[in-house]
Each structure stands twice: as structure tokens, then as C-alpha cells.
Structure 1
């Protein structure tokens, strides 16, 4: 008699893929190791979205067996994901004289490299299929939640209301289509409370304070050709259309729907700016969702500008250190191990650098502290000048 397998055990990547990009879009050079939780921080227009999209394209190209050579498959994915006619369009946009781009994926001694210039595209290394993206349970899927989710969801709602679901462009044409497919073809799980459904329910309870649900039962909605979603606040009888709910709700609704329908342990989930339109308290609380995903075996990549989110991630690493020292009392799914988290700083015209965790400062970029210090010094200087002009103690503070 065979022993039943434990299908609920979190799936782990068989190796940690190393990704190198040089002279790629706005990126001068990046060399990162994909961790269970990989976080990109830094100023806007420095390449965080470019590298996130590259990771997605690499996963799609090497995450499962495909027809064609590695060069053909990967360059096709680059064109599709970035929406460009040719790969050389992705060569660094700085205007410098260097005109050659390099991309490399390394795992367990296997390396695939791509070189591109205006006149030539070539590759080195015939890495096995699924290089770096296989888990101990088999091949994984990748999902990308782009910025601007609220606008995309509202556009979907308007088209669904008009009964135009079948007219949506579902050709395999890029990130936006990949995002919309699970929404348009939404199917909930089989009713069993799997880890992803529990994480989605916790997100609804702790951050959204209500539930995201189809406006009509899914079979009825499919028959009506107009699958719509609504937000039902806690203890409310009727729901609100997502366009009538807060910006926070429509930004996070896709995450809830993806967790409830398609994301599984072992998958890769990429999310741009999860803190968008969230109150600082909600940004901080959202960090727990990603810690739970890591504990469940999901590989997560996040871009963020949120100091509160990063501070909470730092606290979750400290929780992991305490758990490692034998302290009991913390919630079992709400901690991170230092080795599970990689934070990478993007700066204009500079190589991407890793921000190392330390117990005192956590994982915050020093530039955040510089901004806070500059604001404090300016506020103090203005207050001093106001008090001097108003006669010191006679100044009325409001």
C-alpha cells in the first residue's frame, strides 16, 4: 500500500535562479538572485518594472517545455512581454555609446546568455527546459499584476456590464492580456480551503474589511456573458460595484481573485506597487499577506516605494530570527527568514545594489532616511523663522 503524499506541503524551488541584465532599458547593470521574496526599491524610471518583466519573460520562456530553440522562444517572449517589434529596442535607453545588451540566467551550473546589438542577436548555452523555475512538485506558473490595476479593473467592469466579454482581445499579446485572462475566465476553487484561499480570506478580513465576489454566481455570469465583481463590506447585505468602492479595494481585488483562482504553491507572483492607494496602516498590514505567501511556497517579486511596507517586512524578519532562537508565541505563518528575502536598490545610472538586512535598520534604503531628515530640517527651519517673525512666545501654533 502506497503512502499518501502530503500535497499541502509548501513547494520549494530546486535552485535560486541568478539573473543578470546589462545595458537593458534604463538598467546599466543588475545581477540578482531570485529569493522567495524579492523586493525592488528605488526612484521611478530606474528599471524596477523592466527587471520584473524580464523575470516574467524568463519564466514563461524557461518555465516549461516549448517548441523551438532557447533563442527563438526567449526573444519571442521578450517581444511579447515588452510590446516591442524587435529585441534591440530594449537596449539601454541612456544614450551612451555602448550598444550591446546582455541577459543571463544561471542555475545549478547551467547558464543561458543572450547578447543583442543593433546588428546581431545571439545566445550561448543550451540550458535544459524549465531552467531555474522547476519546483520539487514540477513546473510552476507565473502571474504578473501590473501597476494601474484599478483602471484595468474598471475597464473590464464597463465591458462586462455592456456584455462584451467575448470581444476582449484574448490573443497572446502581452502583460495586460496575461493579467486579464484569469479575471475574464475566473473560476473559484473546488470549495476546499487551500492555503491560497485562506490567505485571500485573511487579506479581505484584515485589509479590505469586506469580500470580493462575483456579482452573480459564476455559472450564471458565464451564461450571461458578463462576469462582474463586487465588493461587499463586512456585515453588509448588498455589495458595491468595484468602481463604486474605494481605490484600495479595486487595487487589491485582483490579488484576491488571483489567489482564489489560479495561484498555487510553487508559482511565481509578481506585483507592482501593492501599496498603491493604501493608507499607511494598510500598507504595513499588507506585508503579512506576502509573508504568508512565502510560507505557503509561492515565490514573490514586488516593486515598492512604501517605507511602511519595508519596515513591516523588517519586523517579520526579526520575528523569524526570534522563532529561530526558539521563542514561541508568534503566529506560525507570519514570519520571514533572512535568507528568504532579497531587497535590491535601483538608482539612475548606477548598478543595482542589494540592501543587506541588519537587525537595527532592517531593509530600508538610506535615501528614505535622507528624505525624512531633509523634511524635518526644513520644517524646523520654517518654524524658527515663523517664531522669530511673530515674536517668539507670541506665535500661535495651529
Structure 2
């Protein structure tokens, strides 16, 4: 962590089936956060003091990816921002073309107008509470290569593939057709690859591609979800209790409880997931998780070398802690982004190291991973993999230390932010710099330095 750094320019980094764009979420006066500019990345880390707003901001990002589609108007609006988008589409019906930055910005501006109008409604939906928020908008949009608009004479469906938005061409495009095209453009320009597609149907209560949020209290939920189901889960799902009052859970937590109900055995697991599952079972929990499903799923742990199934509540805490991620992969649930609060929770430093390896493997498999963390072990491993990726003797070191290509990460794929609380209870957020040796994390370095100073001060000659 104790590396010197200089300013570097991050470029858009394209992953297999992952982020091919960058944009910055700008917020002002949100809860205890004075202001923030968060540039999304395949691996994004929030570090800093407890109670500094890291989970607030991650929840807001999750809600933006999950719920902002709900705030598109139901019919063509009369706003100036929309009218400009409408005029652009109408003018270019039937023309295949690459979109300029200024043309893309037309749709970003409309999206921001929608966010501005619905900021309080969006935050209330996410947190089940009236949250203070001054401003929320998307800034500094960029995309790798170019974005192409293509019209399909034979098609009846919209699609977005390989940076090409394909639109069905009709003999006569009505005002409603142009509106649908504008909505599709707007959503995919901002959210394609990290959120669920706009028109994806709900299957078993979930849209394919929706982001997953694993809260810091996931172990407690895994041990008590059946009791929560019996008591109040149905009310929490709706966001209100039977009296009409707000639920006591934020929606990322409610969504996690819903997710547990989706865990099930599947007949075929993808090859990508198989490798990740094997890593978790062999390197982290030393066994397997069995799923039985009746009215609700139940989970038992089977240690390697044993045939006995143990319920999670008498298994090691690491099993209950890691099981949601393992079951997510085993169930083949489709998600485009995963947010993990405190992935180091309840893990010995060696297992934090393994968790860091798993996070990088997830990112390299094409899944953006956004975390909040207090673990210097996790971030030091990330730095080590940056250094290995830049090392002139990389091939030799990979063989010596048993690393493969999917264990390393390029620093251009990472964004790291430190949350700093002042004595007035307000938080300022600063992006952390990086170089070929990794990221400097002052919040960890200061604590470690103070601890080392005490070691020297208290020991006797």
C-alpha cells in the first residue's frame, strides 16, 4: 500500500461480456455525502471510515441500475430534452450511422432530466425512507470504439450487440414508435452491460441481468431467512408493512432475501461458473453446499471427505458467509453486475486473500464487481496482481507462484475511492491514484503506521 504515485489517465477498458463504457455518477448533498464523482469500472472499491456513507452510495448505484428504468414516462413527453431526442431519431429513420459524442449526449441529457425530476422518488424507493439528495446525474460518458445505429428491414425486435443498436424499420413510424426508440437508446447508452435489458421480461420475480447486492449482513440472513419468511418477508417485498408504513429494510436487502428464494439446483452449470464454483469449494470452504427446495430452499454443508450434511447454522461462519456467492453461481442466475459489502467479513486473512483472488477472477470472467471494504489484505493482493501484470518476468513469476492469466488485473480496470468523514459528520470522497505498483490507500496506511509506532514504543530493549 505504501507506494508513491503519479497521475494516470484511465481509458475505457473492454471486458468479455462486460463494461464497454465509462460514465461518472455525480451526486451532491446525498445523505451525509457532500459531493461525489464516481467513475464506474469493472472493479470498483469504496474504502474509508465506518459510517462514512459507503453503503449509502453503493445502494444508490444498485438502485440506479435496478429502478431508474421505471421513471421513463409512459408516453412521449413535451420536455425540451426529449423533443431534441425525438427530432434526432425522426430525422434519421432508415439511416445506418455512427453516433457522434454530441448525438450520444442528447440521450444522456434526457436521462439526467428524468433523474433530476425523480431523484427523491428513486431514493425513497431504494431506502424505504425520505433521503436528502440535492443532485444526481450522469457525466463524462465515453464508449470504446463507436456506437452505431442500424435499421433492420426484416426485424421486429430491438437489439444491442457489439456497440450496435438495431431498430426495426417500418413503413410508417408513429410518434409512439419514435418514443419507444428513444427510450431504448437512452437506457442502453447508459446501462447496457451492467443492468438488465430494458424490455427483459420478469421470470420468477427477477429480470435476467439485474444487478446483485450482497449486503454486509448476508450471513445473518442466510441463517434466519426462513424465520423472516414466516414473519414479515412478504411485507418487506412490497416496501411497506400491513399498516402502510415503510419497511424496516432497504430494497437492496429485500432483493437479497428474494434472491435466496431463487437458489436451486440446475441441470447444467456454465463452464465459467463451474471454474468459479470449484475455486470457492476447494480454496475457501473445503466442501459443497447441497440445495433442497420445497416451499423454500434449504441449504446444507457437506465437508470434503464426509457424506454427512450439516445445516448452515452449525457450520463454520465462513460457509454461511461465502455461501450466497457460491449458490448464486450454482443456480445460474443471470446478473450483469455484483455489489459486495465487506467481502472480507468473518474471513481469516488467508481467506481474505482467497476472496481477493475470487473477485479478480469474477471481473476477468466479464462480471463487474463493486465492493466496500476495510481489508488491507484484499487491496494488497489487488496491488500485487497489478505489479505482476506489469512485471518484466511475469511468465516466470506466474509459474513460480502458481498464477494464471485470469488471476491478474490491469490497473485500467480498477477505480478506487476513499470516503473521508469530517468532524461535522459529513463525507468527502476522493479518487485514489495508481501507478504500475498499484493504489495508495491513505486510510489503511495511516492506521498501520500508527500500529507499528506503538509496537516500537511499547517493546522493551
TM-score, with length taken from structure 1: 0.76
- CA–CA distance in structure 2, aligned partners of residues 64 and 263 of structure 1: 22
Do the aligned partners of 1:310 and 1:364 also contact (CA within 8 Å) in 2?
no
Which stretch of structure 1 is more off in the superposition, 75-84 or 323-332?
323-332
State whether structure 2 residue 237 is matched by structure 1 residue 171.
yes
1:234 partnered with 2:304 = yes
Number of aligned pairs? Answer: 339
2:196 and 2:219 map into 1 onto residues whose CA distance is 33
Q: 2:268 — aligned with what?
A: 191
Matched, 1:90 2:135: no
What residue is the counterpart of 1:203 in the other structure?
Answer: 280
**2:450 partner SS:** helix
| TM superposition shift of 1:170 | 6.4
CA contact (8 A) 2:22 2:142 kept: no
Distance in 2 separating the partners of 1:165 and 1:272: 25
Question: Displacement of 1:377 after TM fit?
Answer: 1.9
Matches of 1:61 and 1:290 in 2, distance apart?
A: 25
SS of equivalent residue, structure 2 residue 338? strand
**TM superposition shift of 1:190:** 3.7
Deviation of the 1:73 alpha carbon: 6.2
Counterpart of 1:118 in structure 2 is: none
Show the counterpart of 2:136. Answer: 103
Q: 1:57 to 1:254 in 2, by over 3 A?
A: same
Match of 1:272 among 334, 338, 341: 341
Partner of 1:331: 404
| CA drift at 1:207 | 1.0
Structure-to-structure mapping, 1:59-208, within 5 angstroms: 59-62=65-68, 68=74, 70-71=114-115, 75-84=120-129, 86=130, 89-91=131-133, 101-106=134-139, 108=141, 128-135=186-193, 139=197, 140-158=209-227, 164=230, 168-169=234-235, 171-173=237-239, 174-208=251-285
SS of 2:190's equivalent in the other structure is coil
Residue 356 of structure 1: aligned partner: 433
Deviation at 1:16, TM superposition (A): 1.3
Q: TM-score, normalised by structure 2?
A: 0.66
Distance in structure 2 (CA, Å) of the matches to 1:29 and 1:272: 21
- The runs of 5 or more residues in structure 2 that have no matched partner are 1-14, 78-113, 144-182, 198-208, 240-250
Residues 82, 166 of structure 1: alpha-carbon distance in 2 compared, 3 angstrom cutoff:
closer
Deviation digits for residues 253-279 of structure 1 (CA, Å, limit 9, x no counterpart): 111112222554x70100100100000
The CA RMSD measured in Å over matched residues stands at 3.1
- 1:36 pairs, out of 35, 39, 42, with 42
| Aligned position for 2:387 | 318
Structure 1 residue 244 displacement after superposition: 0.7
Is residue 259 from structure 1 mapped to residue 304 from structure 2 by the alignment? no
1:153-177 C-alpha deviation (Å, 9 max, x unpaired) = 11114467xxx49964463431222
Alignment of 1:339-378 (within 5 A): 339-349=412-422, 350-360=427-437, 362-378=438-454
Give the whole-Å Cα distance in 2 for the aligned partners of 1:146 and 1:270: 8
C-alpha offsets along residues 295-337 of structure 1, whole Å, 9 cap, x if unaligned?
1111110000001111011112223324997777441211111
Change in Cα spacing, 1:167 to 1:50, as seen in structure 2 (3 Å) is: closer
Which gives a bigger RCO, structure 1 or 2 (Cα 8 Å, sep 6+)? Answer: 2
- In the alignment, the residues of structure 2 paired with residue 246 and residue 76 of structure 1 have an alpha-carbon distance, to the nearest angstrom, of 41
Maintained 8 Å contact 2:276/2:358 = yes
In structure 2, the CA distance between the partners of 1:243 and 1:191, relative to structure 1 (3 Å rule), is: same
Q: Compared with structure 1, are the counterparts of its residues 135 and 282 closer, same or farther at alpha carbon in structure 2 (3 Å cutoff)?
A: same
**1:40·1:304 contact (CA, 8 Å) conserved in 2?**
yes
Secondary structure at the counterpart of residue 301 of structure 2: strand
CA separation of 1:204 and 1:77: change in aligned 2, threshold 3 A: farther
Larger deviation: 31-40 or 364-373?
364-373
Q: Whole-Å Cα distance in 1 between the matches of residues 234 and 218 of structure 2?
A: 17
